[in-house]
Amino acid sequence: MNTALVTGGAGFIGSHVVDALLMRGMNVVVMDDLSTGSKENILNKDVVFVEGDIRDGQKVEHVFRVNRPAVVFHLAAQISVSQSVKDPSYDADVNILGTLNLLRSAVANDTGKFIFSSSGGVMYGEDPGEYPTSEKEPEVPFSPYGVAKLSAERYLYSFNKEHGLKYTALRYANVYGPRQNPYGEAGVVAIFSEKMLKKEGITINGDGKYIRDYVYVEDVANANMLAMDNGENGIYNIGTGIGTDVNELFEKLKKINVYQQDANYGPPRPGDLRKSILNSDKAKKGLNWRPQYTLEEGLIQTHDYFVSKLGF
């Protein structure tokens, strides 16, 4: 039975990848420093859990040498765009140097494939030539977080050419769903869902007309599964191609959660793109991937999760 290593496997997206791998009968090893993830997200006792930081090269090498993973799903990351602006050195330490530790150990231990979680939301800048935006558009990230994600993609290409390491990079749109942290900056669906269930007030940043492509987490996990056998040495957008602004999202969630209050409006968040929608035609052809959940279906699933979590 093949072994998969999932970095960040105790986190939001990573834990769904772990579940999908277990459903396919694979041995799973999770490496996570628990800075944002939680052991509660790892539901299966058969998962081998290693608490560790990907910046620790010796620890990374030990995990590879002991477990000899056939495939690596690299989801561990510094995920805050604003934090990357405040401390770009830390962001680069985790998202570039940490990735390099994994790539070196993957080569040294004959890993068959490296699947990297990148970001489509920050990759194409403020004014791409088309919406939805395809991979043909130039990469122009301006946050240190986006620059680090692009740098990691370039290292994947380098390690393939120099060492023959096969890879697939997946550029996600705005991922949402169960287990998302409602206290971070990235999870607007989780933030709104929890506040609505608690009947708390909600503040929308700016005018609420910031448009995003919301993709359900199980669809993202499925893209990772398909990347094991498809999309060799390719980069793929993973999104729905449908844009929804924050005001629309608020109204959809308001209806699902039977929430009575109106939103408050605060100052815009520095660095936020006005619009990001991904064209995933390349993933449909190269990975045979298509989103299976509509936004409404995914929001209902997310609502049900938070109802259970909060004990309503």
Question: Catalytic residue positions?
Answer: 145
Return the DSSP state at 41. Answer: G
Beta bridge partners of 7: 31, 74
Amino acid letter, residue 198:
K
Return the DSSP state at 95. Answer: I
- Gap between the Cα atoms of 92 and 96, Å rounded: 5
Q: Which helix (H) or strand (E) holds 82?
A: helix 81-86
- Gap between the Cα atoms of 238 and 129, Å rounded: 18
Beta bridge partners of 117: 170
Detail the DSSP E strand segments found in 34-149. 48-51, 71-74, 113-119
DSSP secondary structure of 278-303: B--HHHHHHT-------HHHHHHHHH
| C-beta separation of 237 from 196 below 8 A | no
**Cα first-last separation, the chain:** 41
| 3-class state of residue 159 by DSSP | helix
